[in-house]
Amino acid sequence: MITVLLTSAGVLGLLAFFEPCTIATHTLFSARAHREPRADCCTALVFIWISRSLLVTTLLVVAVALTQPFEWSNATSSAMLAGIATLYLVSRLIYIPVPHLEFYRLIPGSKRLPQAIRLGLTLPACTIPLFLVIVAIAINVDSLWLSLLAGLLFAALFTLPVVVTAWLGLKNDGQDFMVKAANAAPYLTAVLLFGAALYILSPSVDLGNKELQALLVKPGGIGIGLAFLAGFVFSFNPVSLASIPVVLAYITKAHEERRALLMGGAFIIGMTITHVALGAVAALGGDWVKELMGRAWGLFLGPLLI
């Protein structure tokens, strides 16, 4: 189920950008950002990514913290996914007046906020069902840290096309692709949701809480993959990105390729050893920290780490 949560967060986050009610506003934002000086463009992209990550992770963490896991029958889960898929198909024929969730309006003086922050703190109407699917899975997995990671992954994949188009620009071929993608996205989303609904009906799929908890504590390839994915996602943070010019400055001082490789390799080895040591300490002291702090501390540590 961990794999389902993280895969769904990534896939649905990417699809969220291409939904018709989302792609237009984000494409216009990317086009304006591309015309700005590079420094201003980068600032806008960082703002939209951080604000969206903050919004999505907060909603997921709060939902998991305040909601008890509940038993999902396979038939109920399948019916819900099929209903959402049908909603996407119907929306191509009939206008459904669902408003955007503009969370930035809760902030005093929201009209003076940069457009990037306002866009990041908005859940477009056509992405709300996709996000609710992630919320439902996260509640049943019942892990604050995994919900935090799923939120970061959803936000990162949602924002990635904005970064690419803002940085590279959008020419005629790109505009044609965006139009075709916007027309095809609801159908692709419906196909994926219908496929998931049929898969859940398979007798080999069990959504019970006991099976989920057993999977969470069982060591193996899932844990390794989760650690790799977590490291990959968390590497895209302002502190890590700010260290890149420093590393490049040291490497470019090397006038020989061999020395450049040696210095770059030394940096990678140093980072690896540091994180392995921190991971070992966390693993050895995990049970003690869990008993000392308990689940409620996640409500404090989650927003603090964000």
Contact 167, 37 (CB under 8 A): no
Query: Are 216 and 147 in contact, with CB atoms under 8 Å apart?
Result: no
Residue 272 C-alpha from the chain's centroid = 24
The token duo for 175 is 């505009």
**pLDDT digit string (tens) for 118-154?**
999 999 888 888 888 888 888 887 788 888 888 888 9
What are the backbone dihedrals phi and psi of residue 102, each rounded to the nearest 5 degrees, phi first?
-95, 85
Q: How confident is the model at residue 84 (pLDDT cuts 50, 70, 90)?
A: confident
For residue range 171-210, list pLDDT tens digits in order. Answer: 777 778 888 888 888 888 888 888 877 777 665 545 455 5
Phi and psi at 33, nearest 5°, equal -65, -35
Q: Is the per-residue pLDDT at 218 higher than 60?
A: no
Percent of the chain clearing pLDDT 90 (strictly above): 6
Are 206 and 71 in contact, with CB atoms under 8 Å apart? no
Is the confidence at residue 113, as pLDDT, over 60? Answer: yes
The pTM of this model reads 0.66
Res. 52 pLDDT band, cuts 50 70 90: very high
* Average pLDDT rounded to a whole number, residues 51-76: 83
Backbone angles phi, psi at 109, to 5 degrees: 70, 35
Mean pLDDT of 55-68: 88
